[in-house]
Amino acid sequence: MVCAAGSFVHDTFPDGTRRLTSVSAVGVPKSDNQLAVAYRGPDGFLLDVNGFGGDNFGASDKRDAVYPDYWYFVRGSSEFEIGTASLGDAALGRYSDGSSLCFFAVGSDRRPLVSGSGFDFSGFADGIAWVGGAATRLYRDSRALGTIDFDRGQIELTLELTGRESPFQKLLNPVTFGTATGRLAITPAGALSGILTGPGGSTGTVSGRLFEYGVGLGLVFELSYPNGDRIYGAIAADMRQI
């Protein structure tokens, strides 16, 4: 999970809970957060953030989702979105606690058993682009693709970055930012890490894990531009054709 502080605007529901509606500033993202999500039956999710526990969302916390293919829950100042139409081995989501805005990728954390080379993968990204003093949402318009070489322990990643205006209310006009590329190393335990080179002189990092014995990928990334603009988010990808 990757998180950033910032200045946020919320709408308040009649029961006092709050929905994030807009962003007026985004701080420096931190990509060293860990999120565990436990599925507790229909409309039930228990979170653990960095090993310290977390929110327990149930059916009474569910609200109408703004975006297709996401479930949406709110409890107090905490919001939780998770994909309902995942690629099968990884899913995207958002978590906000009122003071930070986080994006994550989750999957079954099983040790990879795959060997060989030349495996293609593809998937989607979700996140925030803070460029030119405005926030756009990367929601599923940004695609990730590449190849995995398990024998050499590396991944070639290409990330096509496109955002949408009005990031937490409606899918509005697309804004294309360009392409980021990177080479990631794979550890024997399935951890991934590497450097990204992006559009407009931006650079950053990407890290994550292999899921479901190595056929799913969950990544978080951040890019910083020379002028202080930034893009950050999460990637869910799968080796199966989508």
What pLDDT does residue 241 have? Answer: 43
What pLDDT does residue 85 have? Answer: 54
User: Which of the two residues, 56 and 239, has the higher pLDDT score?
Assistant: 56
Assess contact for 218 and 35: CB atoms under 8 A.
no
What pLDDT does residue 50 have? Answer: 93
Q: What rounded mean pLDDT belongs to the chain? A: 90
pLDDT in tens, 68-97: 788 999 998 899 999 875 546 789 999 999
CATH number for domain 119-238, candidates 3.40.50.300, 2.40.160.90, 3.55.40.20, 2.40.70.10: 2.40.160.90
pLDDT in tens, 209-241: 998 877 889 999 999 999 999 999 999 998 864
* Residues of the chain above pLDDT 90, percent: 64
Q: Indicate whether this model's pTM tops 0.85.
A: yes
Looking at the chain, which residues constitute the CATH 2.40.160.90 domain(s)?
Answer: 119-238
On the 0-12 / 13-18 / 19+ scale of CB atoms within 10 A, 82 is buried
pLDDT in tens, 145-197: 999 998 999 999 999 999 988 778 777 788 999 999 999 999 988 899 999 99
What pLDDT does residue 157 have? Answer: 97
